Amino acid sequence: MKISSYLIKKLRLMTGSGILDCKKALLDTQGDIERAIDYLRKQGKSKALRKISRKTLQGSIFNKIKKNIGVMLEINCETDFVSKDKKFIDFGNKIVKYGLEKKIKDLNVIQKKFDSDRINLISILGENVKISKYSILIGNFIYNYLHHSRIGVLIQTNSINYSIIKYIAMHIAASKPLYLNPESIPHEVISREENIQLDMSLQTGKSNFISKKIVSGRMKKFFSEISLTKQPFVLDPKKTVEQYLLKHNILLKNFIRFEVGEKII
């Protein structure tokens, strides 16, 4: 059985073992990485460095638009220092370019395509690197916004008024909406929150009739916290984002927001 240099390099990064030891372990286990790790441990050859499994809570967001396509990517590493390295940045830009050219929609496709490059980057930088998140927007009037490579936003609208849309993108970056509007919130999310609020109100001894009125008010607050259009606009808190958009005759169709390290376990 022929063992690829890619597998040898990957096993070496995971264990800290020598090239020949890694090759022998892979040959004896028919190229099975996990079994090869066990083999090296039993032989006392593994140094258990496991760079490839270290936590990666730092990193950068990359986003770019080409014609009517926008892509956004999050790549993570272990330290802020490495996230600023040119090789790390070049790696992110390379992936974004490929995603745009091929109109890739699936994170798994991106991860598989660039895994060899990722392993090579780990060996150069000495830190674990992960391609964590990837998303694409296709359609007219797409705008991208990046805040210090830590927060990225893609927006799809019906307008070329980018000076106004930039303010909306800044709002999304700062206010972290989860959904575009109340109508886009999944029914199970709404139902769960309503049940929680109703139980909390009933526990205070209020009647079911009064509790339902209280819940109605609390749900309005809930919507204003998690849906973009109902949030108070950061540049004019007396208006909602929806009111600000109506004033400028702009319709938001979709948005995507990435923040470094968010929702990473």
Q: Count how many residues are written for the chain.
A: 265
Helix (H, G, I), strand (E, B) or coil at 69: strand
- Phi, then psi, of 156 in degrees rounded to 5: -115, 130
CATH for 58-180+250-259, among 3.30.479.20, 3.40.50.720, 3.10.20.30, 2.60.40.680?
3.30.479.20
Distance CA 85, CA 64 (A): 19
pTM, 2 dp: 0.77
pLDDT at residue 48 in the model: 46
CA pseudo-torsion sign 106, 109, 110, 115: positive
Distance CA 57, CA 70 (A): 25
What are 173-217's pLDDT values in tens digits? Answer: 999 999 999 999 999 988 888 888 888 777 777 777 787 788 888
Query: Quick one: three-class SS letters along 117-145?
Result: HHHHHHHHHCCCCEEEEEEEEECCCEEEE
Q: How many CA atoms lie within 13 A of 200 on its CB side?
A: 10
- Domain segments of the chain: what residues? 5-52, 58-180+250-259
What is the rounded average pLDDT of the residues 45-64? 73
Cβ-based neighbour number of residue 185 at 10 Å: 17
At the top level of CATH, the class of 5-52 is mainly alpha
What is the rounded average pLDDT of the residues 98-103? 96
What are 209-264's pLDDT values in tens digits? Answer: 787 788 888 888 888 889 999 999 999 999 999 999 999 999 999 999 999 988 65
